[in-house]
């Protein structure tokens, strides 16, 4: 069993994502390729990563990435739905969790003091997610509403940290940041097929492009 990492406080996750502006989402169909993709992203300077537990052998993927990514990387687990899921990913070393919906995992993780990014889309869901103990809201699928929808949802909830996830290409990322997204979560447009055995060189190139956009967005 790997040594457990230092607990991450919810406020520290929010502050860190606000600075980084980018969360990489790994959802592959090959465990070893997912590990290689995640570590390549870290080498390029991506600090925050989500590894979806739908990835084959996800616990091993999370544990291996946490072991080799270094202290600057912050590894979370995504698609965490149940109480048992929470226990499993924390045991593997994940430091925060993400959900695709208002799942039982939100309250469970919050009770453990673990930062949670809760999946929601409607204003009512966003508000309820924060009530359940979320540290931030994952606006998902963001592409269903786009940047203007994010702005509309933020208007009545200016204090909720929003992360736009789902179909966020490079041009869309810029627009989400302009409309107040704390960060964007990017899977396919960034990772491509690298987590399924595809080209890591192309992944690295896309990572550098997103990181440059994130840096530019900070002014």
Active-site residue among 47, 50, 63, 175? 50
Calculate the CA 196 to chain-centre distance.
Answer: 19
Residue 118, beta-bridge partner list: 137
Phi and psi, residue 111, nearest 5°: -65, -30
Which two tokens mark 207? 């990572």
Q: Describe the chain by its helix, strand, coil percentages, rounded to 5.
A: 50, 15, 35
CA-CA distance, 172 to 164, in Å (whole number)?
A: 10
CA-CA distance, 143 to 154, in Å (whole number)?
A: 16
**Residue entry with tokens 């810029």:** 174
- Segment (H or E) for 44: helix 31-44
Active-site residue among 47, 63, 108, 138? 138
Is 138 designated active site? Answer: yes
Residues identified as active-site: 50, 138
């Amino acid at each position: 069993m790997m040594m457990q990492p230092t607990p991450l406080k919810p406020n520290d996750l929010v502050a860190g994502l606000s600075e980084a502006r980018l969360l990489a989402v790994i959802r592959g169909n090959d465990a070893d390729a997912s590990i290689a993709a995640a570590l390549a992203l870290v080498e390029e300077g991506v600090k925050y990563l989500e590894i979806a537990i739908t990835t084959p052998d996800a616990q091993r993927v999370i544990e291996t990435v946490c072991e080799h990514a270094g202290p600057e990387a912050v590894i979370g687990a995504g698609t965490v739905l149940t109480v048992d899921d929470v226990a499993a990913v924390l045991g593997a070393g994940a430091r925060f969790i993400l959900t695709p919906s208002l799942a039982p995992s939100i309250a469970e993780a919050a009770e453990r003091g673990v930062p949670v990014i809760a999946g929601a889309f409607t204003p009512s869901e966003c508000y309820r997610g924060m009530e359940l103990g979320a540290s931030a809201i994952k606006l998902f699928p963001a592409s269903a509403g786009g940047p203007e929808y994010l702005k509309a949802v933020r208007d009545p909830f200016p204090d909720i940290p929003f992360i736009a996830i789902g179909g966020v290409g490079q041009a869309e990322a810029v627009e989400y940041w302009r409309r107040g997204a704390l960060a964007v979560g990017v899977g396919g447009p960034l990772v491509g097929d690298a987590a399924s055995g595809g080209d890591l060189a192309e992944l690295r190139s896309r990572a550098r492009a997103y990181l440059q956009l994130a840096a530019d967005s900070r002014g």
